[in-house]
Amino acid sequence: MSKILEYIKNLPFWHFIMLFVALAVILTEILTIVQSFILYRELRSELLILGFFTPAISAFVVFFITALVLRQLKDKEKRLELSSQKLLESEQKYRALFEKSADAFLLLDGDKFVDCNFATIKMLGYQSRKEFLNVHPSQLSPPKQADGRTSFEKANEMIAIAYEQGNHRFEWDHKRKNGEIFPVEVLLTVIPFGKKELLHVVWRDITDRKKQEGRLEYIAHYDVLTRLPNRALFADRFKQAIAHAKRSQDLLAICFLDLDDFKPVNDNYGHDVGDQLLIEVAGRIKTEIREEDTVSRQGGDEFALLLGEITSIPAGEQLLKRIHHSLARPYIIDGYPHKISASSGMTFYPFDEGDIDTLMRHADQAMYQAKLAGKNRYHLFSVEDDQHLINQQALLNEIEQAVMNKEFQLYYQPKVNMKTGKVFGVEALIRWLHPEKGLIPPLDFLPLIDGTDLEIKVGGWVINEAVVQLEKWKNQGIELEVSINISSRHIQSSTFFDQLNDALDCHPLVNPCDLQLEILESSTLGDINIISGIVNSCQNVLGVNVALDDFGTGYSSLTHMRNLSANVIKIDQTFVRDLLDDPNDYSIIDGIISLAGAFNREVIAEGVETTAHGIILLILGCNEAQGYGISPPMAVTDIPKWLVNYIPNQEWIDFCDEECTEQEEKIILLRLTTEHWFKNVTNVILTMEDSSLGKYLIQCHLGEWIDRFKRDEIFDELWLEKLQKAHDDLYRVAGNLVQKYQNGDIDAARNGLDEFNISYEQMNKVLEQYQE
């Protein structure tokens, strides 16, 4: 009963009314049945039974329908309740999703946000939803976006795209309540809402992602150690700088800078110190250039600079000088001072036009020139340099090819003892037998390979070739010492000693002391200790001889003589060549020979072209000679024949046999120098080949010799006066000839040669009558 009451109580109102009406009808029908029953008992009419059944049936029908409807209604009610419950649950879920999301969710209606979640409020730094929703959307962004467009303009465009496509995703800069700008990714989705369309907005904070991207971007474009732009960014800046230079019509300087001797810093002090030095170098360069200019680290100790708005080449140079000056200041790292310099090369756009690779190559080439010129300097690129380098590179390739094609040959120039007439050795001199250009002398190609690995390769070939030839001669019974020229770099290379050792090992017939190494005196500069060590090992371990070549041309000959234990000193040919013209060269050779004697070294003169050269050298005490006066260098095949046909210079042998006094030697010297001078003047006047006739007059050193003899008091004074007079006459006649010659009166000059001859004879007569 209570359940029924409960049920009725919970019935909805119109269900209750319906039930009430149905019950009323049923009750009415029951009353009718009761009434019919009473009447039937009294009247006993059969019809009353009908009156009894009809209401009963209709009561039943009403009851049945009411029950049925009520049940249906109840079911529907239940279903409704269920669905509304589901709806509620779903709404709760979506609300939770909306509220709990880490992304900011918002609803935008026109230009007003109508709803937002908690993340939005938190992200933008507001206190409450109410406060946030009162803010106009335009106040949530900075005036301009990262791409430079105004926020207003860009926002309108983004919204328009979203409406057109249904949704749109893009990046945006937002502004927090405290003014801080941060990046978000925005997703706009159009959602129909009743008759209108709202925009569902999602903001995702991408600050971390942007930072990560920024880091990657940094690594891709910057050098992590020095924080300077790297090659990739430099290339990009280069394009911009060229475009700018084109617009502004100013010069753009492209500079390549390389630190000098940075490797020893790394090797001796460690990489940490090296790194700190590089950082400091980067900083110093940056402070010298403008903010708009670029300095980039190209790798290692190489830097490239882009210097814009340069008004002139001197202005560019000035800037470079400043940078060099700054870099040369000491670096204090971990309390220790370090010094380093730089070499740089510069080229200027638009004088030098081309793509980045070309201009960088040009700046690099110029830098290389600066290195070659002695480091710690700059060099400006020039087209001539470029062409020169291109040719040089082509030649280097050609030389390398020539080594492989065996196009090199050693020529041999005899060395003789003038006193005995004996040929005791030969100097091996390299030649390039070019298939098209013919015979190329060494000085036309050796300087090109100077400082390259090819130089060592060619040097190695020379060693082997000379040793092989020594062995061949040994087998033929030809006893000769062979000297080979060794470049400074080759002798200092790690492979030199082994190369020489191996060559001698492979040819045991060769006596090592028959091999002589000629080292250029000038090339030992700066490396004297290293070279001295190698020279000692070559002499003491291998047993080969060493000669100091071109002696007298170096800067500190005395030091070299003292520190290098060379067996032989080879007087440079330039002194020998001018021996008859210049008393100074005579004095130099005199000095070299005395020095060699003091240090117990043998001495040989090269460039002996005439018998007179030989005689004077003999007077000075040098017995060994090499030069065209004996023989020019010749192919190896010519040597045996030459040796067979060789006739020693009899004048040299006779001179040595005569045993002259000091005065006699000086008279010979005077006679030879005067004869040399006389022949030169006569030859010029006759052939008119040399326009510098005056040179011979100016270089008549006869007078100087007479002065020296007067000082030394080795001749009779009266005789010297006579000699002076004869010299002055000869000189005056020569002066007149030159005067005529220079006035174009060639015939008169030639006619005057007789008088010149007489004066010369007169002079010789005086010389013959010398008195001590």
Q: In the structure encoding, which two tokens stand for residue 697, read together?
A: 């007059």
State the minimum distance, in angstroms, from the CB of residue 482 to ligand C2E: 11
- The DSSP bridge pattern shows strands 568-571 and 378-380 to be unpaired
Residues 79, 117: Cα–Cα separation, whole Å: 32
Indicate the residue among 104 and 625 with the shorter CB distance to ligand C2E.
Answer: 625
Which residues does residue 568 pair with via DSSP β-bridges, in sequence order? 547, 602
Indicate the residue among 347 and 516 with the shorter CB distance to ligand C2E.
Answer: 516
The residues of the shown chain that bind Mg ion, judged by CB under 5 A, are 485, 518, 549-550, 606
Indicate the residue among 465 and 550 with the shorter CB distance to Mg ion.
Answer: 550
Residue 365 interaction partner, one of Mg ion, ligand C2E, none, beta carbon < 5-8 Å per kind: none
Indicate the residue among 223 and 518 with the shorter CB distance to ligand C2E.
Answer: 518
Indicate the residue among 258 and 606 with the shorter CB distance to Mg ion.
Answer: 606
DSSP-based three-state secondary structure for 310: strand
State the minimum distance, in angstroms, from the CB of residue 567 to ligand C2E: 16
Residue 442 interaction partner, one of Mg ion, ligand C2E, none, beta carbon < 5-8 Å per kind: ligand C2E
Which residues does residue 569 pair with via DSSP β-bridges, in sequence order? 548, 603
Please list the helix, strand and coil fractions of the chain in percent, rounded to the nearest 5, in that order.
Answer: 60, 20, 20
Residue 308 interaction partner, one of ligand C2E, Mg ion, none, beta carbon < 5-8 Å per kind: none
Contact partners, residue 673, CB within 8 Å, separation at least 6: 580, 581, 701, 702, 705
State the minimum distance, in angstroms, from the CB of residue 217 to ligand C2E: 54
Number of helices (H) and strands (E), helices first, in the chain?
A: 30, 22
Helix (H) or strand (E) holding 756: helix 753-768
Residue 441 interaction partner, one of ligand C2E, Mg ion, none, beta carbon < 5-8 Å per kind: ligand C2E
Q: Cβ atoms within 10 A of the Cβ of 747, count?
A: 9
Residue at shortest CB range from ligand C2E = 627
Residue 430 interaction partner, one of Mg ion, ligand C2E, none, beta carbon < 5-8 Å per kind: ligand C2E
The residues of the shown chain that bind ligand C2E, judged by CB under 6 A, are 413, 429-430, 441-443, 446, 462, 485-487, 518, 549-550, 573, 606-609, 626-628, 633
Residue 398 interaction partner, one of Mg ion, ligand C2E, none, beta carbon < 5-8 Å per kind: none
State the minimum distance, in angstroms, from the CB of residue 413 to ligand C2E: 6
Of 693, 702, 685, 689, the residue nearest 748 (C-alpha): 685
Residue 429 interaction partner, one of ligand C2E, Mg ion, none, beta carbon < 5-8 Å per kind: ligand C2E
Indicate the residue among 151 and 573 with the shorter CB distance to Mg ion.
Answer: 573
**Contact (Cβ atoms closer than 8 angstroms) between residue 445 and residue 399:** yes
State the minimum distance, in angstroms, from the CB of residue 423 to ligand C2E: 14
Residue 307 interaction partner, one of ligand C2E, Mg ion, none, beta carbon < 5-8 Å per kind: none
Of 685, 566, 667, the residue nearest 616 (C-alpha): 667
- The DSSP bridge pattern shows strands 423-434 and 438-440 to be antiparallel
From the CA atom positions of the chain, what is the Rg in Å?
55
**Backbone φ, ψ for residue 194 (5° rounding):** 65, -130
Residues 349, 243: Cα–Cα separation, whole Å: 11
State the minimum distance, in angstroms, from the CB of residue 690 to Mg ion: 27
Residues 145, 183: Cα–Cα separation, whole Å: 10
State the minimum distance, in angstroms, from the CB of residue 632 to ligand C2E: 7
CA atoms within 13 A on the CB side of 281: 29
What torsion do the CA atoms of 53, 59, 64, 66 make, to the nearest 10 degrees?
170
Indicate the residue among 430 and 470 with the shorter CB distance to ligand C2E.
Answer: 430
Residue 413 interaction partner, one of ligand C2E, Mg ion, none, beta carbon < 5-8 Å per kind: ligand C2E
Q: In the structure encoding, which two tokens stand for residue 475, read together?
A: 């087998």
DSSP-based three-state secondary structure for 338: strand
Indicate the residue among 186 and 547 with the shorter CB distance to ligand C2E.
Answer: 547
DSSP-based three-state secondary structure for 694: helix
State the minimum distance, in angstroms, from the CB of residue 410 to ligand C2E: 7
Q: In the structure encoding, which two tokens stand for residue 494, read together?
A: 């790690």
Residue 487 interaction partner, one of ligand C2E, Mg ion, none, beta carbon < 5-8 Å per kind: ligand C2E
How far is residue 168 from each of residues 143, 161, 290, measured CA to CA in Å?
Answer: 22, 7, 43
Q: Cβ atoms within 10 A of the Cβ of 52, count?
A: 17
State the minimum distance, in angstroms, from the CB of residue 501 to Mg ion: 22
Indicate the residue among 123 and 548 with the shorter CB distance to ligand C2E.
Answer: 548
Indicate the residue among 119 and 630 with the shorter CB distance to ligand C2E.
Answer: 630
State the minimum distance, in angstroms, from the CB of residue 606 to Mg ion: 5
State the minimum distance, in angstroms, from the CB of residue 403 to Mg ion: 21
Indicate the residue among 169 and 431 with the shorter CB distance to ligand C2E.
Answer: 431
State the minimum distance, in angstroms, from the CB of residue 429 to Mg ion: 7
Indicate the residue among 223 and 606 with the shorter CB distance to ligand C2E.
Answer: 606
